[in-house]
Amino acid sequence: MRIARSFTVTIVLLILIGCYSNAALTSSAASQSDFLTASNAITSAFVATHNAEEKGGNISSLVTRLNSAVGLVQKAQSENSSNPVQASADLQNATLLAEQVSSDSIGIAQSGASSKSTQVDESIGASAAIIAVAILIYIFGGRIYRRAWLYLYKDYIVRPA
């Protein structure tokens, strides 16, 4: 699962770099600062998503929305010469979507960190319980076995052969 996330994050980063380089090469009706703003917002959202993943958060919804933002930037690049108004709207939507991903990643990172903490606490508790049961069996196991054997075989009579 972690490899798939890292692969997805790498793909998003490569698409982002491609968007930025294409935006720099295009002479368009939408300004370069619009493309740069969208690219910077997506980059910061990518970093926030990566940090949330490192803290153990489930980032699948964030990656989906981040991919949508990258798609909007690509769409804006392709339609910039034919429909600059729509391109500007797409860039604004991409920026807004990336900012939402950045803000949502904080909560996801916190929930991931708390879930990791809970998992560690549960592991320590289970280990302590297993060790305690093993010690009790070591100390009292022989007595319990002998009492159970005497209880089960109390009606048997042993006669010399």
Kindly report the pTM of this predicted structure. 0.62
15 CB contacts (<8 Å, ≥6 apart)? 67, 70, 74
Percentage of the chain with pLDDT > 70?
82
Task: Say what the pLDDT of residue 30 is.
Answer: 72
Give me the chain's average pLDDT, please. 85
Q: Provide the residue ranges of all domains of the chain, joining segments of one domain with +.
A: 2-119
* Residue 17: C-alpha distances to residues 25, 39, 131 (Å): 13, 9, 53
Over the stretch 37-92, which tens digit does the pLDDT of each residue have? 999 999 999 999 999 999 988 999 999 999 999 999 999 999 888 888 999 999 99
